[in-house]
Structure 1
Amino acid sequence: MDGSHILVVDDHRDIRDPLAVYLKRHGFRTTTAQSAAAARDVLNKASIDLVVLDIMMPGEDGLSLCRHLQERGPLPVILLTAMTELADRVAGLEIGADDYVIKPFEPRELVARIRTVLRRASRVPKPLGEERRRIAFDSWLFDVEKRELIGEDGVSIPLSTGEFRLLQVLTQRPNLVLTRDQLIDLTSGRSAQVFDRSIDNQVSRLRKKIEPDPRNPRLIKTVWGDGYVFACEPRVVE
């Protein structure tokens, strides 16, 4: 993990350069880029293991570059965002970013997140695409378009809006540990009325519907100190 090549993309030199120095001190190889165009040039010439990417940049913004990176193939991305950029954070996660850090941030926190994302990326497949409309997992068929969860007996199980969104997020990101903040952003776009406990309650309700034994879940597992993981390999049904 240490020795991984990190690309820092930020148009602010006073953030970009000190961050690169800090990452080098913690054992990472680091390259910087002041724009999306410069980042594309680096990516065409060098092997990069993870991109730290500012969202707000002149010209092509970070979300556009993030989308391009995901189209190229699996490459972990951590977004740097402002506190007010909620919609952009959600959009970034939806198009494939692995995590985000809100400015101003502690470099130590970013290093910890980089190591966590690199560790996950080394063993986790990429999320299923949004175009996958019918997904089979365990003994269930999840019809995203019809918003139905169907058991092996053919009976449809009703899902609340929150449960549907949660199951959609989980099945699109199998074996990926998602924090409560990420789940909140992806399912509801964090509002003043949504808290960590709400996600815990939704997980509990969904477990009661899909787990053989909700008290000992094997599909939606708790990762203590991190969040939840959908520990199942969904299969696309044509």
Structure 2
Amino acid sequence: MYNAKILLIDDEKSILQMLEMALRKEGFRRIYTAGTAQEALWLLHKHGADIILLDVMLPDQSGFELCPKIRELSDAHLIYVTARTSDLDVLTGFATGGDDYVTKPFNPLEIAARIKARLRRGTSFPSSKDADVRKQYDFGYFMVNENAGELLVKGEPVSCSALAYQLLLYFCKHPNTVFSKSQLYEAVWGIDGMGDDNTVMVHVHKIRERIEPDPGKPKYLINVRGLGYKLVREKGI
């Protein structure tokens, strides 16, 4: 049994019914459904949410327009679930505040697995003993303070989304190590990352915008052609 509150937003009743049935079979009980953006915002005001599944094509406004309004009310993990499959749509989904992007048709059990993986990461708090072991990762130009959950660039705190921070922290813990996109997705998002290249690429871009002196010519978080990404730590730092 899971206590997390899940908000499903889709104008297709059959999709809502399928998702709700699948999630209930997986042990979720606090599930709310909305067929319009207006209804979704009302439910979010009334009940809150830990996980939000959002369709793009809603009757009163698009999911891309709704997502920033949701972000004003909630930091819930938001997964776009939509038939819009172009690269531009995927990038727009992340740019408007989405954390993940799943295209239709989909397997509802995959959705359940993504939700469970996110809840495992979102509810895992370190003990005081664990916190003592945690440390700062100083790369000169920027530093990640794991204890405080902070990214500092040139000594100044810089805002960073939760998933971008977790991805950067994973790189910091494994400097000068090459990771494929699927390895990164599995490590940070929690499930097999095959087919989720765009998710990793967008979050790498978000990180570069924050930690690189020139994001267009990265010197820290670099591509290794044909293999993936690595975070470079210079000798002596």
TM above 0.5, yes or no, is: yes
- Report percent identity of matched pairs: 32
TM-score by length of 1: 0.59
Q: Could you say if the C-alpha distance between residues 118 and 171 of structure 1 is closer, same or farther in structure 2, counting changes exceeding 3 Å?
A: closer
1:146 — aligned with what?
Answer: none
Q: CA RMSD in A?
A: 3.5
Q: Give the C-alpha shift of residue 7 in structure 1.
A: 0.8
Distance 2:41 2:59 in 1: 15
Checking the alignment, whether the CA contact within 8 Å between 1:184 and 1:199 is kept in structure 2 is: no
Distance 1:40 1:212 in 2: 50
Q: Deviations over 1:42-87 (max 9, x none)?
A: 0111132111111121221112221112222411111112253432
Distance 1:173 1:44 in 2: 26
Q: Give the C-alpha shift of residue 151 in structure 1.
A: 9.5
- Runs of 4+ off more than 4 Å: 169-172, 185-188, 196-199
Q: Which runs of 5+ in 2 are unaligned?
A: 126-135, 143-152, 168-187, 206-222
Checking the alignment, whether the CA contact within 8 Å between 1:98 and 1:117 is kept in structure 2 is: no
Distance 2:162 2:44 in 1: 30
Q: Give the C-alpha shift of residue 212 in structure 1.
A: 4.8
Distance 2:107 2:163 in 1: 30
TM-score by length of 2: 0.60
Checking the alignment, whether the CA contact within 8 Å between 1:78 and 1:114 is kept in structure 2 is: no
Q: Could you say if the C-alpha distance between residues 171 and 99 of structure 1 is closer, same or farther in structure 2, counting changes exceeding 3 Å?
A: closer
The residue identity in structure 2 corresponding to 1:60 is Q
Q: Which runs of 5+ in 1 are unaligned?
A: 125-135, 143-149, 153-168, 189-195, 214-238
Checking the alignment, whether the CA contact within 8 Å between 1:23 and 1:111 is kept in structure 2 is: yes
Q: Could you say if the C-alpha distance between residues 71 and 140 of structure 1 is closer, same or farther in structure 2, counting changes exceeding 3 Å?
A: farther
**Does residue 113 of structure 2 align to residue 90 of structure 1?**
no
Residues matched between the structures, number: 169
Q: Give the C-alpha shift of residue 18 in structure 1.
A: 2.0
SS in 1 for 2:3: coil
Q: Could you say if the C-alpha distance between residues 16 and 73 of structure 1 is closer, same or farther in structure 2, counting changes exceeding 3 Å?
A: closer
